[in-house]
């Protein structure tokens, strides 16, 4: 029978636009040592390592091999996963399955990125088909701008509604010592920031960040012994629906809707707004904070703005979203999805300090990337049956 799995330790680097004080391996080492310290383990206790990033940002091939001195994978089973923006959540989902399989008891999961070494948009552009998509409609921002326009046109939402999401996440980030952008912004500042791709403005979007995150996944036999309050992984689901941008449905993020339907059924959640206590969502831009919470079933399509303005998703509201400050405040791409996982786990473990939401029993984290793809994990304070 498969093992139950819990997160028993997390670590992240301090995040900046340029971490010139460390190279990539040292950046990874920083996150790994913090995760081990948090779990009160040493590298000797770790059975295996998985790691991920996006190759074309740093130009390192076979990162699993290159990073051994930082990841601690020397003479251990080590493998690499990468799926673009979803890399971090892909790693978390793999961490769960590999430990649940019984092959390893303690697995170290590492996501990292040194965006400062990259031409991010050029690298992302190469993800798309060289004949049909790449020359006309690629990169990260253009597709999101279309999604935002479709959402506004369909439901009458405004750019100010979206700005409210950026205001929330940036306010939360001030409570998180690890966040990259720790400065509040106002609706007016968001509205007045430079236009990048209509209707998206600079402050609607995530930054480029250098950083790494490490998470220790453990089997139930280990977790209960070494951790007073482990974050149990209750389930995972993902959908990578599209290959071509031209095939994507730009309204309502169907990949997230489908993944959420599967996962809620699996973990028996019927009213997510009521039953989930906190969410750490990969919202790379402000409009996602309106539309994608609808895909997650928190409200009906078009009602996202009302939840935002009512403060439902603020820390202190009914369902706090991104107490960490989210992706708009910090985005080391290969680590970003794993940071969502780590922050959700911290909330369950009661270790989120000033950004702690009250009485967290159930938490959810997401990943976004590729061609409008979505990954999801749900965590619980109570060991699953």
Partner 1 sequence: MDRVAIVGVGQTKQERNKIGETFADMVYEAVLKALEHAGMGITQIDNVVSASNDFWDGRTISSMAINDACGSYDKNISCVEGDGTFAAFYGMTRILSGSYNTTLVVAHCKGSESDSAHITNAMFDPIYVRSLGLDAITSSALQARRYMDTYGITEEQCALVSVKNHGNGLNNPYAQLPMRISVEDVKTSRMLADPIKLLDASPISDGACAIILAKEEYAKRITSRPVWIRGIGYCADAYHLGDRDLADCKALEDAAQRAYRMATISTPRKEIDVVELYDAFSYQELLWSEGLGLCGRGEGGRLVESGATSMKGDIPINPSGGLLSAHTVTVAGLVRIAEAVLQLRGEADKRQVKGAKAALAHGVNGPCGQSHCVWILGR
Q: What is the total count of residues that contact partner 1 (CB under 8 A)?
A: 60
Q: Which of 31, 212, 241, 342 binds partner 1 (CB under 8 A)?
A: 241
Nearest approach, Cβ of 186 to partner 1 (angstroms)? Answer: 35
Q: Is 236 in the site for partner 1 (CB under 8 A)?
A: yes
Q: Which of 143, 320, 369, 380 binds partner 1 (CB under 8 A)?
A: 369
Q: Which residue number, 155 or 373, has a Cβ lying nearer to partner 1?
A: 373
Q: Which of 20, 21, 102, 274 binds partner 1 (CB under 8 A)?
A: 102
Q: Is 75 in the site for partner 1 (CB under 8 A)?
A: yes
Q: Which of 14, 16, 97, 182 binds partner 1 (CB under 8 A)?
A: 97
Q: Which of 10, 12, 13, 90 binds partner 1 (CB under 8 A)?
A: 90
Q: Is 44 in the site for partner 1 (CB under 8 A)?
A: no
Exposure b/e, 107-134, CB count within 10 A at least 16 = b: bbbbbbbbbbbbebeebbbebbeeeebe
Q: Is 80 in the site for partner 1 (CB under 8 A)?
A: yes
Q: Is 346 in the site for partner 1 (CB under 8 A)?
A: no
Q: Is 29 in the site for partner 1 (CB under 8 A)?
A: no
Q: Is 124 in the site for partner 1 (CB under 8 A)?
A: yes
Q: Is 252 in the site for partner 1 (CB under 8 A)?
A: no
Q: Which residue number, 9 or 369, has a Cβ lying nearer to partner 1?
A: 369
Q: Which residue number, 8 or 166, has a Cβ lying nearer to partner 1?
A: 8
Residues 326-345 that bind partner 1 (CB under 8 A): none
On the 0-12 / 13-18 / 19+ scale of CB atoms within 10 A, 44 is exposed
- CA atoms of 373 and 57, how far apart (whole Å): 20
Tell me how far apart the terminal alpha carbons of the chain are, to the nearest angstrom. Answer: 13
Query: What are the angstrom distances between the C-alpha of 167 and each of 151, 185, 311?
Result: 19, 6, 11
E strand or H helix at 234, and its extent? Answer: strand 231-239
Nearest approach, Cβ of 198 to partner 1 (angstroms)? Answer: 25
DSSP secondary structure letter of residue 285: B
Q: Is 132 in the site for partner 1 (CB under 8 A)?
A: no
Long-range CB pairs of 314-321 (<8 Å, 24+ gap) are 314/168, 314/171, 314/172, 315/172, 315/175, 315/355, 315/357, 318/273, 319/273, 319/276, 319/277, 319/278, 319/279, 320/277, 320/278, 320/279, 320/357, 321/168, 321/278, 321/279, 321/280, 321/281, 321/289, 321/293
On the 0-12 / 13-18 / 19+ scale of CB atoms within 10 A, 195 is exposed
Residues 267-326 that bind partner 1 (CB under 8 A): none
Q: Which of 96, 151, 178, 368 binds partner 1 (CB under 8 A)?
A: 96
Binding site for partner 1 (CB under 8 A): 1-2, 23, 52, 54-57, 59-69, 73-84, 90, 93-94, 96-98, 100-103, 123-124, 126-130, 236-243, 258, 369-371
């Amino acid at each position: 029978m498969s093992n139950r799995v819990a997160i028993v330790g997390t670590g992240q680097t301090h995040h900046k636009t340029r971490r010139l004080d460390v190279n990539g391996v040292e950046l990874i080492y920083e996150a790994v040592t913090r995760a081990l310290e948090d779990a009160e383990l040493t590298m000797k206790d770790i059975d295996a390592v998985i790691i991920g990033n996006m190759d074309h940002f740093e130009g390192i091939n076979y990162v699993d091999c290159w990073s051994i001195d930082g990841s601690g994978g020397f003479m251990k089973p080590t493998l690499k996963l990468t799926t673009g923006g979803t890399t971090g959540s892909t790693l978390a989902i793999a961490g769960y399955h590999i430990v649940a399989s019984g092959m390893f008891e303690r697995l170290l999961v590492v996501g990292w990125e040194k965006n400062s070494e990259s031409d991010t948009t050029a690298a992302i552009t190469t993800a798309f088909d060289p004949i049909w998509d790449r020359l006309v409609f690629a990169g990260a921002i253009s597709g999101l701008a279309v999604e935002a326009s479709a959402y506004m046109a369909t439901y009458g939402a405004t750019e100010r509604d979206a700005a409210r999401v950026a205001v929330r996440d940036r306010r939360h980030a001030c409570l998180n010592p690890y966040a990259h952008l720790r400065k509040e912004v106002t609706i007016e500042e968001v509205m007045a920031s430079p236009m990048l791709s209509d209707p998206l403005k600079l402050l609607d979007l995530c930054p480029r960040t250098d950083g790494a995150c490490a998470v220790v996944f453990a089997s139930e036999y280990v977790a209960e012994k070494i951790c007073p309050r482990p974050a149990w992984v209750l389930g995972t689901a993902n959908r990578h629906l599209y290959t071509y941008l031209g095939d994507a449905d730009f309204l309502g993020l169907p990949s997230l809707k489908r993944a959420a339907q599967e996962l809620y059924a699996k973990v028996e959640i019927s009213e997510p707004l009521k039953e989930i206590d906190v969410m750490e969502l990969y919202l790379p831009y402000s409009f996602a904070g309106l539309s994608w919470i609808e895909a997650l079933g928190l409200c009906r399509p078009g009602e996202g703005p009302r939840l935002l303005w009512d403060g439902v998703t603020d820390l202190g509201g009914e369902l706090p979203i991104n107490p960490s400050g989210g992706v708009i405040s910090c985005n080391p791409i290969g680590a970003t999805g794993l940071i969502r996982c780590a922050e959700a786990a911290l909330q369950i473990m009661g270790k989120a300090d000033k950004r702690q939401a009250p009485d967290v029993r159930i938490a959810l984290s997401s990943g976004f990337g590729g061609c409008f793809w979505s990954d999801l994990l749900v965590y619980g304070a109570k060991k699953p049956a």
